[in-house]
Amino acid sequence: QKNSCILPEDLKNFYLMTDGFQMTWSVKTDDTPMPLGSMVINSVSKLCRLGGSSMYTLPNAPTLADLEDDTDEEGNGDKPEKPHFDSRSLIFELDPCNGNGKVCLVYKHAKPVVSPDTEIWFLDRALYWHFLTKTFTAYYRLLITHLGLPQWQYAFTSYGVSPQAKQWFNMYKPITINTALLSEEADSFVNKLDPSKVFKGKNKTPVIKKKPPSQPAGSQKSHTGMTSSKTSSPAGNSSRK
């Protein structure tokens, strides 16, 4: 009511179930636990609006709306239109990302009436926008599947995660680093077995053995018979004697 907008149905159902969400996990190095993963969805009271005027702001102090530039690229082709810091959009912080940026719920069309269509965007530390998902449910699944690893939202930016964060990804979520490879070649991680290559023997040069000159079969048999008769004849003569 304060901001004249309605929460999307999936986010409203989430807040009806639990007022925010926070889960952290640690790894043990040298028997010392070190905080690593963090999954956060701000509670309703912390669902603060970005770019809103503050009563403590000086009269001539710059605001986020001053960053707006009409020459910024708008949504063309596959690129969706970026949110605006001025009154054209309503932006609410869902996750402070431990100071690495902000995940925001964005109403991109607030004039003349706030449109109920929302999207989830990531605002990095340089105040550049990066599209994440169209619905809160899809973002929640991304949050869970990425295990809340540090800077995981930067995997959806053009410059990617930092080298330190990439080490954690290689340890706990290695397939995420290869998302570009997966999109280019779906079967790149499938172990393909080619039986013709696996069972293909090496071509060995045959060794030619020299055989003694072969004798005719008949002569060999007769020779064998003669030797057997010769050897048996003495035995016969002796028995006769």
Question: Of 214, 4, 235, which Cα lies nearest the Cα of 111?
Answer: 4
Instruction: Please indicate, yes or no, if residue 238 is contained in any of the structural domains.
Output: no
For 106, the domain range is 9-54+80-177
Instruction: Please indicate, yes or no, if residue 162 is contained in any of the structural domains.
Output: yes
Instruction: Please indicate, yes or no, if residue 30 is contained in any of the structural domains.
Output: yes
Please report the pLDDT score of residue 65 as a whole number: 59
Instruction: Please indicate, yes or no, if residue 101 is contained in any of the structural domains.
Output: yes
| Amino acid making up residue 85 | F
CB burial of 201-214 (b: ≥16 within 10 Å; e: otherwise) equals: eeeeeeeeeeeeee
pLDDT by residue for the chain (241 residues), tens only, comes to 888 888 999 999 999 999 999 999 998 888 888 889 899 999 999 998 887 555 455 555 556 655 666 545 555 556 778 888 888 888 999 999 988 999 999 998 777 777 788 999 999 988 899 999 999 999 999 999 899 899 999 988 888 888 888 888 888 887 666 555 444 554 555 556 666 776 666 666 666 766 666 665 555 555 545 544 444 445 445 445 4
Please report the pLDDT score of residue 13 as a whole number: 94
Instruction: Please indicate, yes or no, if residue 195 is contained in any of the structural domains.
Output: no
Instruction: Please indicate, yes or no, if residue 61 is contained in any of the structural domains.
Output: no
CB burial of 23-58 (b: ≥16 within 10 Å; e: otherwise) equals: eeeeeeeeeeeeebbbbbbbeeeebeebbeeeeeee
Please report the pLDDT score of residue 92 as a whole number: 93
Instruction: Please indicate, yes or no, if residue 190 is contained in any of the structural domains.
Output: no
Do strands 101-107 and 90-95 pair parallel, antiparallel, or not at all (unpaired)? Answer: antiparallel
Please report the pLDDT score of residue 41 as a whole number: 95
State the burial class of residue 103 (Cβ atoms within 10 Å of its Cβ: 0-12, 13-18, 19+). Answer: buried
Q: How many domains does the chain have?
A: 1
Distances (CA, A) of 142 to 32, 132, 137, 210: 29, 9, 9, 73
